[in-house]
Amino acid sequence: MTEDLREQLRTISAPEPLTTGVDETETADDIISQGLVGEITVDGDTAAIELALGAPHSPAEADLVESVRQTIEAAGYEPALSVAIDDKTPATEGPIVIAVSSGKGGVGKSTISTNLAAGIAERGASVGLFDADVFGPNIPRMLGVTDEMMQPGGENTILPVDADGIQVLSVGFMVDDSNPVTWRGPVVDQMLGDLWHDVAWDDVEYLVIDLPPGTGDAQLTMLQQMPVIGSVVVTTPQDVALDNVRKGITQFEPHEAEVFGIVENMSTFVCPSCGDSHEIFPATGAAALADEFDVPLLGRIPLDRAIGEHCEAGEPIVFEDTETAELFRTLAGDIMDAVGRRRRHSHCRHIKSRA
């Protein structure tokens, strides 16, 4: 009975094909051949099935789950699905950590981080947002929680601030916004390390980290201490930003963090009067860089006045019903899918190496 169900599940395509085998010439393109279906147990009218899913609430895995449900129901059973994944990625223990970086300041990295976290939360996931941009901690304002303070937890821990369901940790909650942060490098490293180890996240599934801009000691400290599964690199189209992005991409090479792709911010100008888009910078910059490093161009976010207005109001634009908001929602879904792809492929290769 279980083998009959397994063969029926073989008709379901995996979200993306995977090459396997010693010489990487075999192609596995269904969920059975990729090892995404674990134990199957039939008890009366119920079929309990383990699935190797790595990105909760991601679009691709939500579609996969629905296909499995439909297949099992068509076979005359009530599906009881559970997750059992054996991947060897930094997300194996703890939350799925996604870093948002930029080679330089002023490219809108924190805006991308905020709307990415909010977009993931909108899909139903529990999300934390760590504002590690020590010298420009703007995320409390972008989420409308500038008047909040982190509270002490138990056993020498601190509790993140709740921003409409998103758990937020920021140096901005600890310093007076009227005074500059003039900490030297070792102090910054110590502060970020202490915050990371002392915060008591409440069962977050995804943790988005807004890294400080640049490629210095602070970024290195974060990457060494945090189990980052992947990164998103933010740039603007002009060459002065792209030159620094190359450094921002290569900083992840010594670590386990895959570069999920590049986001080109301020790619076009959306006229508030007529709504037309205008190219104010060369249109091919980020695309050419993505090709150079063989990573996806995840999205081109326009210079839209509404984005700034929503940031000032503490209301991420991703929740709105506009074209720009849809770009952010698509970005969030694509990054979640990238997480799932990496974890599923790691699972597949791991179980096949044991066979």
Same domain, 294 and 238: yes
Same domain, 194 and 62: no
User: What is the percent of the chain where pLDDT is above 90?
Assistant: 55
Residue with tokens 């900490």: 183
For residue 250, give Cα distances in angstroms to 254, 255, 314: 8, 10, 33
Q: Give 254: exposed, middle or buried? Use CB within 10 Å, 0-12, 13-18, 19+.
A: exposed
Q: Classify 130 as helix, strand or coil.
A: strand
The last residue of a domain, from among 30, 63, 85: 85
Domain-located, residue 47: yes
Distance between CA atoms of residues 266 and 321, nearest Å: 20
Distance between CA atoms of residues 245 and 91, nearest Å: 25
Distance between CA atoms of residues 114 and 80, nearest Å: 35
With CA atoms as reference, report the closest residue to 52 among 77, 88, 20: 88
For residue 51, give Cα distances in angstroms to 34, 58, 86, 92, 205: 11, 14, 10, 15, 17
Number of domains in the chain: 2
The last residue of a domain, from among 85, 110, 134: 85
CATH number at residue 192: 3.40.50.300
What digits encode the pLDDT tens for the residues 116-129?
A: 999 999 999 999 99
Same domain, 210 and 327: yes
Domain-located, residue 351: no
Domain-located, residue 350: no
Which of 179 and 341 is assigned the larger pLDDT? 341
Q: Is the pTM of this model over 0.75?
A: yes
What are φ and ψ of residue 333, in 5° steps?
-65, -40
What digits encode the pLDDT tens for the residues 49-85?
A: 999 999 999 999 999 999 999 999 999 999 999 999 9
Same domain, 179 and 307: yes
Distance between CA atoms of residues 150 and 158, nearest Å: 7
What digits encode the pLDDT tens for the residues 202-238?
A: 999 999 999 887 666 667 777 777 899 999 999 888 7
Mean pLDDT of 136-140: 85
pLDDT at 276 (0 to 100): 77
Domain with 130, as residue range(s), is 96-345
The last residue of a domain, from among 85, 104, 125: 85
- pLDDT above 60: residue 23: no
Cα angle for residues 339, 285, 113 (degrees, 5° grid): 40
Distance between CA atoms of residues 331 and 326, nearest Å: 8
pLDDT at 167 (0 to 100): 96
For residue 33, give Cα distances in angstroms to 13, 30, 271: 10, 6, 50
Domain-located, residue 352: no
Q: How many CA atoms lie within 13 A of 95 on its CB side?
A: 22
Residue with tokens 């991947």: 87
CB 207, CB 95: distance < 8 Å: yes
